Structure 1
C-alpha cells in the first residue's frame, strides 16, 4: 500500500472531473432538478479565507448526495466583482480595476478548484462582465419605466473616506461598513429604488418559504411594519398641520409636547415666528455631523432645543403644547414629527425628565413616573375623557373611529424600511443607462444599445464635490437624447455593488444568453432556487434586495415564481484559535492554501464540517485539523483489509443505522454528527479487522460528499466498476436499523448495579433467568430477601430488597 498522498490524489481527480465535465448541469425533463446556491464571493486581493469553504462544503455535500439520488443538480459559482475595495486598490496602486478584478478572480478560482467543489464552472458569472451587466441595466430600465426608480434630493449617508453615498444598511455603528470611517449626512440628488412598494409582500410571502426563524425575524424587523393612525396636530395661529404617526392613538390625551426632526421644513417656514432661530440652526448643524445610528441609539443622552414662539394644538382636547427639535426624530422616517407621551414611553419620559416637561398618566398603573409601573398594553384608560374606563384595545378602536369621524386622522400602516439609495459616485460599478434632456427630462438608453459600458479612464479618484469620476469624461457625458435627438447628458453615477448580486442566481440558469437575462425554458425548469445558504450579515442587505428584484420581475412576467429562494439557511463563522473573529490586526487569520498544502483538501473539508454545529461560530483548532487527517489516514488503510462478500451479519444493523443517520444529517446541516457516525463505523470495522466489499462501497459513498478525492481513489483501487461519482446513494431498511438484542439496566433498591443483554422481545421470565444467572446478582442479594421484582419491557429490571 502506498502512503496517503493528498496532493497527488486530489490533483488527479480534480483534473478528471474537469476534463470529463462530471458536474456539468443540463436541463433534463426526465429528471427532478435541484438548485443549490451559495453566495458568490467578492474577489478580494487577499483571496479565500477559511470561512469561505464552510458554507461551500456544506452545500457541496448536499449537491453531491442529490446527484447520487438521481436529481439534475445545478450548483454554480461566480464573482460579485464590482465594488469600492477594488477601486480603492486601483487608485492606490495605479492599476486598472478591471485588471485587479481579473487577477483576483483567477486566484479565487484556483483556490476553489483546489478544494474540490462540484461547481458547474461552465455557468460562471461575473458582475463586471458587460454581457452580464447589460441585463442588470435592463432590469433597472424596467423599474424606471414602471416608476420604481426615481431621483430625489435626500440627506444621504456620506462616507468621509470613500467619498461615496451609502445605504442605511451599509452604515454599521455610525461608520462605513467597508472602510470603518465616520459617516455624516449630506444632501444629494440620488437615484432611489422604491422597495417600500413591496414592503407588505416582502413580509407576507415569508409564509411560503422555508427560512430559518431567525432569518425571517430579521427580515420582518428590518421592514418594521406597524399599524396605527396618522393624526393631524394644528400649528397654533396657522393653517399648517403637523402630521404624526402613532401606534398608540389611545394615549392622545397624554401628549404633553411634540418633537420635530432638526431638518423639518417648518423650521424655515416659520422662521419669522421662531424666537430662537439661531440656537435651533446651530443645533441642526451639530446634528448633521451624526449618523442616523448615533441619533437613534436609545442608550445615548437626550438632546434638544425648544422652539420658542411656536406651539401645537392637541386635537383631542385643544390644549396648547410646546414643540421641540431633537436629533432622535428623523425626517427620513415617518413624517419627521412625533407626539410625545412621557407618561407611557421610556424615550419620551427620559426627554421630559431632562427638560422638565409635563408627564401625564392616561393609563392606570402604567405611569413611568411611578414605581408600580405595569405593561400599558393591559391597562385601563384614565384622564382621557370619552376613553375613560376602556381597555387599551377598546380605547384604540374607539379613537380610530373618533379621529376618522372628526376628519383629523385615519388608520395607517407605517414601515421602518426606507427606499433603496441606488446611486454611487464612483467609477467601478454599472453605469446607470439614463440621459438627461432639458426638454424630455430623464430618458432611458435604447435597450438595443445596452450594455452601456464603462469608459476607459486614467483617474479613478472621486471628486471633492462628490461627483462620480465619470463626470470628468466629456466624451462619456455628452450625448444625444434617445427621444428627441437634442444634446443631452448621461447620468454619471454608477450602481451599487448590491445591483449585480440581486439577480445573479437567475443568470446561472442560462449564462450565455445574448437575447434575454435567461430563457423562459431555463427559468421554468430551474427556478426557484431550492436551497440557498449565506451569511446572516446579508439578511437585511442582499436577501431583502434580491427578493424585491425577483418580485418585480415576477410582476412583469419574466420569472415564474413569487419568491427566488424556497429555502434559506445560514452558517456560523470560523473564529481564530483565540475565539475571536479572524482579522489581520489580530494576527489570527488562517489561509486555506496552507492547510491544503500541509494536510490536503479532504482534511480541510472534513475538519470544517466536523468543527461543530454548522449554524454556530466555532474556533479554529490545529489539533482538530490533525485529528481529521488521522481519520482519513485510517480510511486510506482500509484497502489492506478488504474481504469479499456483502454486508456481514455483525455489521448489518450498524450499516443500516449509518446510512439512515448520515442521509438525514447531511440534509439537516448536522455534518459534524454525520462524520462522527462514520468514525464510529470505521472503529467497528477496525475492531473486526476487515471490511467486506459491499460495506466498503457503502462507506466510501457516504463519506464521498465530505471527502471526494480520497474516496474516488479508494473506489478505483478496490477495483469497483466505473467511478464513484457515477454510483447511487445507498438505501437503508428501517427494520434492519433496530438491534435484535438490547441492554437492560438492573436496579436494586433504586440504584443500577449492572446491565444484561437480552433479546428485544424477551418476556419477564426470560429476562429474570438472565439477571439471576449473573454473578453480580448473587453479590447484591446476599443476606437479603427479594421483596418484589418489576420488569418494564425494554427499559429496566427493578428488584426491591429488604
Structure 2
C-alpha cells in the first residue's frame, strides 16, 4: 500500500467533481462563510503564486466546511485586458479564442490542485452575460451623474494610435512598439469616486479585519488634507492660479510658485513668449516620466521659468512662476505656493535656482537666518515678517490667515483629497463596451436596458494600430434611441478594474438572468468573510471594489457598506535567478551542475527575488505535481513561510514535504486494522501512556485550530508534524486496549486535521479506514483544555548558573520535594558531591538552581 499521489489525486478529484461535494446553496438555517481568493487573469498557465494563494484559501474554506459552515468558495476569470490583444497580433488568433482556450487549460490545472471550488458558479468577465450587467450599472451611474466624460491629458502612442497607462510607458517609449510617447489631451469617461472620498477614508478606521499596512496605503492614496485655497493673479495677463496649501500661516514667505507640467495654464503662460518652444519641450520631457519617481525624495528637482510672475494676494509681492517636475495635477490644484524657508522640497529648489528664502516662522528660543539655513524649518513657532499676524502662534495663525483671505475674497478654507476621479476609458477592443450612443441632436444617450448587452463584434482585425472598434461600421453606426436619427456608438471600452470591482457579488447568483444578481442570495452570502490576494492590489482593486460596493448600495441593490470583512495579503514566491553570459536568463532546468546546458559556461546565480517569466526563475506547478503530487505542492507552499511573508523556493523543502506525507501515510496505513478494531471504544484517562496520548492529541488539535483561525498556517503544519513524530514514539509502547483505543482516536483526528492541507491523502486514508462519506465534510475535531496540560513537566537544574540536567517532576511540586529530586539525579550528584551547598533556589515549574563552593 505504497503512497501513489498520481493515482489517489485523480481518484478523489473525479469523485469530488462528479458528486459535487463542494456545491453550495443559500440556506438560512446554517451559518454562512464566504471565502474568496482574487481571481486570475487567464494568461495560459498557473504559476507558483497561484498555487500559494489558492492553497491558503482552500485551507480556510475546507476548515470552515468541517466546522459545519455553509461555505461559498467560488472561482472565475478576470478575462478582459490588453495581453489578449497582444496575443491576437502575435499569433493571428482572436482574443476570445485565445482567452477561452487559456481558461480551459488553467481550469484543468487548478482542478489538479484539488481545490474545493463550486465550479457551478464559475464566471468569466468577457462573457456578455457578465458584462451586460456591468453596462447596466454604468448606465445607472451615468443617470446619477457618477459616470461622466471630460477631457484629460493621457500618454499617447502615435504609432499604435492608442492611450497607454503609465505602466506601459518605458523610458518615454511605448512598451509595444518602442516609439516616443506623446502627451495628448483627449476625452474619456470617468467614475466620480471623489464623491465617496470621505466615506472611503472613514471606513478604513472600521475595517478591523484588514492589515493595517493596507489601510495606511489606502489612507495615503485618498490623501485627505485640510487647508486653504488661495487665488494668485498672474501679472500682465487676465489669468489667476489657485493653489492649495496646508500651511496658510506661511503665505507671507512664498517667494515663487511651482505648477505641474500637466496644468492647463502652463501652455497659456508660455504662449507667445520667447521661451515657449523650450518650455513646451520641458513639459513633454517631464510628462514622459513616471509620476511616482517624479515625486520621490531623492529625485532631482527640475524647473523651468515661464517668464511670468504671480502676485501674492496679502502683500502684493511678485513671485516667479516655474513649471516643476515634482508638482502633479493629481494633488491639490496642480499649483504650489513655494515657501523655501519652511518646506524642504521648496528649499532645495530655491537653492538650486538662486531664489529668495524668507523666514516667516521663528521657533522658540532660536533665530533662523536664511543665509545660514542648511534645511527648511517645518516645526512650530511664532509668525514673523507676516504683517499684522506677526507674533501669533503659527497654529492660531493658520485660522486667522484663512479668515483674512475670505474677507479679501481671494481664498477659503477647504478640504483636499489626493484621490482623483477614476478614468475608465480604454481605446482597445478586448474590454466591456461603454453603453453610450452619440447623437448630434440629443448628445450622449445611454443604450436602453432592453438592448443590453452591447456585444463586442467578432469580425474585427486587430493590428495594434488604434482601436479596431472605430473601424467596425456595423458596430459604430446606430440609430439614436431617443430621436431615431443616425448616431454613432462609443468605441472606448472599460478599464478591466471595473469588472473586478463587483465580480464577488455576481458569484452569489452567477446564473441570475433578471438582474445584476439575486438580492436575496446576495444578502445571505455577502459580505465576503475572508478575501485573499497579493499586496500589489492593496490600493486600486481594493479601493475600487469598496467604491463600487457603496455605489451599488446607494443604487438600492445591497444593504451593506463594505465588500470584504477580512483581508489577507499573501507574500510572493521567490527564487534565485540564473544567467549565462552568452544565453542571458536561464530556466532552472537549463542549469546542470552550475553550468549552462547550452554552452557549458559557469552560470551566474542572481539574488532571490519574485518568480517572473522575464527572469525565468520560475517553477512549473504542473511539473511539480507530476513529480511529487498536488498535496506536496500545497504543503510546501503552506509550510515554508507564514502566509503574509515572502516564500523562498527550496527543492529540499519540497522533498521534505513529500517525505512528511509519506510518514503520515505509513503511520495510518500500518494501523488500519487497529483503527477498525479500536476506534470508538471506551478508554480510561488515568494511565501514564493514556495521559500522554490525550495530551499530544488535544494540544495539537487546539494549536492547529487556533493557528488556522489566525492564518498561521505554517505553524499549524509544524504542529501536525510534531504530533506525527510523537505518535511514532508512542506506538511501540501500546499495550492495553484503552491505550490502543486512544491511539486509534489520535490517528483519526490526525486524518481530519491534515484534511484542509493535504486533502487527497486525507480522503484516501479516511476511506481505507472504513469511514463513510468524505473527510472533507466530517466534523472538525474538538479539544478539551484539561488534557492540554501535562501532569508531569520537565524542569532544568542549574549548578552555579549552568544547566547540568533536566528532570521530570509533577506539576506544581513543592520546593523541598523539587530540590530533593534534583539532588538525587545522577548528573547533579557529580557536581555537588563533596562540595558545600551555599544556596538553593526553586522557580515553580521551571528550574532548580543550586550554588556550591
Q: 1:681 maps to which residue? A: 723
Q: 1:616 maps to which residue? A: 645
Structure 1 pair 131/111, CA: closer, same or farther in 2 (3 Å)? Answer: same
Q: 2:598 maps to which residue? A: none
Q: How far is the alpha carbon of 1:487 from its aligned partner?
A: 1.1
Q: 1:459 maps to which residue? A: 461
Q: How far is the alpha carbon of 1:762 from its aligned partner?
A: 1.1
Structure 1 pair 731/176, CA: closer, same or farther in 2 (3 Å)? Answer: farther
Candidates 613, 627, 631, aligned match of 1:602: 631
Q: 1:327 maps to which residue? A: 325
Q: How far is the alpha carbon of 1:166 from its aligned partner?
A: 4.3
Report the more deviating stretch, 661-670 or 708-717.
661-670
Q: 1:630 maps to which residue? A: 659
Q: 2:183 maps to which residue? A: 185
Contact 1:169 1:540 in 2 (8 A): no
Asked if 1:4 is matched to 2:3, the reply is yes
- 3-state SS in 2 of match to 1:650: helix
In structure 2, C-alpha distance between the alignment counterparts of 1:380 and 1:171, rounded to whole Å? 47
Alignment of 1:175-324 (within 5 A): 184-209=182-207, 210-237=209-236, 240-267=239-266, 269=268, 274=273, 276-293=275-292, 295-308=294-307, 310-324=308-322
Q: How far is the alpha carbon of 1:443 from its aligned partner?
A: 0.3
Asked if 1:545 is matched to 2:538, the reply is no
In structure 2, C-alpha distance between the alignment counterparts of 1:683 and 1:537, rounded to whole Å? 39
Q: How far is the alpha carbon of 1:767 from its aligned partner?
A: 1.1
- 3-state SS in 2 of match to 1:689: helix
Q: How far is the alpha carbon of 1:162 from its aligned partner?
A: 6.2
Q: 1:74 maps to which residue? A: 72
Contact 1:346 1:368 in 2 (8 A): no
Contact 2:266 2:323 in 1 (8 A): no
Give every structure 1 segment of 4 or more consecutive aligned residues whose post-TM-superposition deviation is greater than 4 Å.
Answer: 159-163, 166-184, 267-275, 365-375
In structure 1, C-alpha distance between the alignment counterparts of 2:629 and 2:264, rounded to whole Å? 64
In structure 2, C-alpha distance between the alignment counterparts of 1:238 and 1:30, rounded to whole Å? 73
Contact 2:797 2:847 in 1 (8 A): yes
Structure 1 pair 471/722, CA: closer, same or farther in 2 (3 Å)? Answer: closer
Contact 2:121 2:510 in 1 (8 A): yes
In structure 2, C-alpha distance between the alignment counterparts of 1:149 and 1:697, rounded to whole Å? 57
Contact 2:232 2:312 in 1 (8 A): yes
Alignment of 1:684-723 (within 5 A): 684-689=726-731, 692-723=743-774
Under a length normalisation based on structure 2, what TM-score does the superposition of the two structures give?
A: 0.89
Q: How far is the alpha carbon of 1:258 from its aligned partner?
A: 1.0
Report the more deviating stretch, 156-165 or 425-434.
156-165
Q: 2:33 maps to which residue? A: 34
Contact 2:75 2:121 in 1 (8 A): yes
Q: 1:509 maps to which residue? A: 508
Q: How far is the alpha carbon of 1:232 from its aligned partner?
A: 1.4
Structure 1 pair 378/651, CA: closer, same or farther in 2 (3 Å)? Answer: farther
In structure 1, C-alpha distance between the alignment counterparts of 2:174 and 2:568, rounded to whole Å? 27
Q: How far is the alpha carbon of 1:13 from its aligned partner?
A: 0.4
Report the more deviating stretch, 561-570 or 326-335.
326-335
Q: How far is the alpha carbon of 1:241 from its aligned partner?
A: 2.5
Asked if 1:641 is matched to 2:641, the reply is no
In structure 1, C-alpha distance between the alignment counterparts of 2:197 and 2:396, rounded to whole Å? 28
Q: How far is the alpha carbon of 1:34 from its aligned partner?
A: 0.2
User: Which string of whole-angstrom CA distances, capped at 9 and with x for unpartnered residues, describes residues 703-738 of structure 1?
Assistant: 000000011101111112433123100011112111
In structure 1, C-alpha distance between the alignment counterparts of 2:266 and 2:238, rounded to whole Å? 15
Structure 1 pair 178/146, CA: closer, same or farther in 2 (3 Å)? Answer: farther
Contact 1:367 1:373 in 2 (8 A): no
Structure 1 pair 159/64, CA: closer, same or farther in 2 (3 Å)? Answer: farther
Asked if 1:496 is matched to 2:495, the reply is yes
In structure 2, C-alpha distance between the alignment counterparts of 1:372 and 1:336, rounded to whole Å? 27
In structure 1, C-alpha distance between the alignment counterparts of 2:272 and 2:177, rounded to whole Å? 44
Q: How far is the alpha carbon of 1:645 from its aligned partner?
A: 4.7
Q: 1:48 maps to which residue? A: 46
Structure 1 pair 660/294, CA: closer, same or farther in 2 (3 Å)? Answer: closer
Q: How far is the alpha carbon of 1:421 from its aligned partner?
A: 1.4
In structure 2, C-alpha distance between the alignment counterparts of 1:161 and 1:755, rounded to whole Å? 78
Report the more deviating stretch, 742-751 or 554-563.
742-751
Q: 1:651 maps to which residue? A: 693
Q: How far is the alpha carbon of 1:414 from its aligned partner?
A: 1.5
Report the more deviating stretch, 422-431 or 375-384.
375-384
Q: 2:452 maps to which residue? A: 450
In structure 2, C-alpha distance between the alignment counterparts of 1:270 and 1:214, rounded to whole Å? 42
Candidates 418, 423, 435, aligned match of 2:437: 435
User: Which string of whole-angstrom CA distances, capped at 9 and with x for unpartnered residues, describes residues 284-314 of structure 1?
Assistant: 3444444434543443333322232x32221
- 3-state SS in 2 of match to 1:688: helix
Q: How far is the alpha carbon of 1:349 from its aligned partner?
A: 1.5
Contact 1:185 1:290 in 2 (8 A): no
In structure 1, C-alpha distance between the alignment counterparts of 2:371 and 2:72, rounded to whole Å? 61
Structure 1 pair 216/16, CA: closer, same or farther in 2 (3 Å)? Answer: same
Report the more deviating stretch, 740-749 or 83-92.
740-749
Under a length normalisation based on structure 1, what TM-score does the superposition of the two structures give?
A: 0.95
Asked if 1:16 is matched to 2:18, the reply is no
In structure 2, C-alpha distance between the alignment counterparts of 1:637 and 1:505, rounded to whole Å? 42
In structure 1, C-alpha distance between the alignment counterparts of 2:49 and 2:178, rounded to whole Å? 21
Alignment of 1:529-568 (within 5 A): 529-568=528-567
Q: How far is the alpha carbon of 1:211 from its aligned partner?
A: 0.7
Report the more deviating stretch, 16-25 or 780-789.
780-789
In structure 1, C-alpha distance between the alignment counterparts of 2:134 and 2:178, rounded to whole Å? 28
Q: 1:355 maps to which residue? A: 353
In structure 1, C-alpha distance between the alignment counterparts of 2:243 and 2:519, rounded to whole Å? 47
User: Which string of whole-angstrom CA distances, capped at 9 and with x for unpartnered residues, describes residues 41-71 of structure 1?
Assistant: 00013x1011101111111101111111111
Q: 2:381 maps to which residue? A: 379
Structure 1 pair 294/685, CA: closer, same or farther in 2 (3 Å)? Answer: closer
In structure 2, C-alpha distance between the alignment counterparts of 1:649 and 1:222, rounded to whole Å? 56
Q: How far is the alpha carbon of 1:620 from its aligned partner?
A: 1.0
Q: 1:65 maps to which residue? A: 63
- 3-state SS in 2 of match to 1:73: strand
In structure 2, C-alpha distance between the alignment counterparts of 1:378 and 1:139, rounded to whole Å? 49
In structure 2, C-alpha distance between the alignment counterparts of 1:772 and 1:382, rounded to whole Å? 79
- 3-state SS in 1 of match to 2:851: strand
Q: 1:418 maps to which residue? A: 420
Q: How far is the alpha carbon of 1:183 from its aligned partner?
A: 5.7
User: Which string of whole-angstrom CA distances, capped at 9 and with x for unpartnered residues, describes residues 411-440 of structure 1?
Assistant: 111122221111111111111111001111
- 3-state SS in 2 of match to 1:343: helix
**Structure 2 unaligned spans of 5+:** 578-607, 684-689, 733-739
Q: 1:113 maps to which residue? A: 111
Report the more deviating stretch, 261-270 or 542-551.
261-270
In structure 2, C-alpha distance between the alignment counterparts of 1:171 and 1:27, rounded to whole Å? 46
Q: 1:128 maps to which residue? A: 126
Contact 2:341 2:376 in 1 (8 A): no
Report the more deviating stretch, 429-438 or 187-196.
187-196
- 3-state SS in 2 of match to 1:660: helix
Structure 1 pair 515/219, CA: closer, same or farther in 2 (3 Å)? Answer: same
Asked if 1:671 is matched to 2:700, the reply is no
- 3-state SS in 2 of match to 1:51: helix
Contact 1:184 1:291 in 2 (8 A): no
Candidates 820, 825, 844, aligned match of 1:774: 825
Q: How far is the alpha carbon of 1:233 from its aligned partner?
A: 1.6
Structure 1 pair 406/253, CA: closer, same or farther in 2 (3 Å)? Answer: same
Contact 2:340 2:376 in 1 (8 A): no
In structure 2, C-alpha distance between the alignment counterparts of 1:290 and 1:233, rounded to whole Å? 28
Structure 1 pair 181/502, CA: closer, same or farther in 2 (3 Å)? Answer: farther
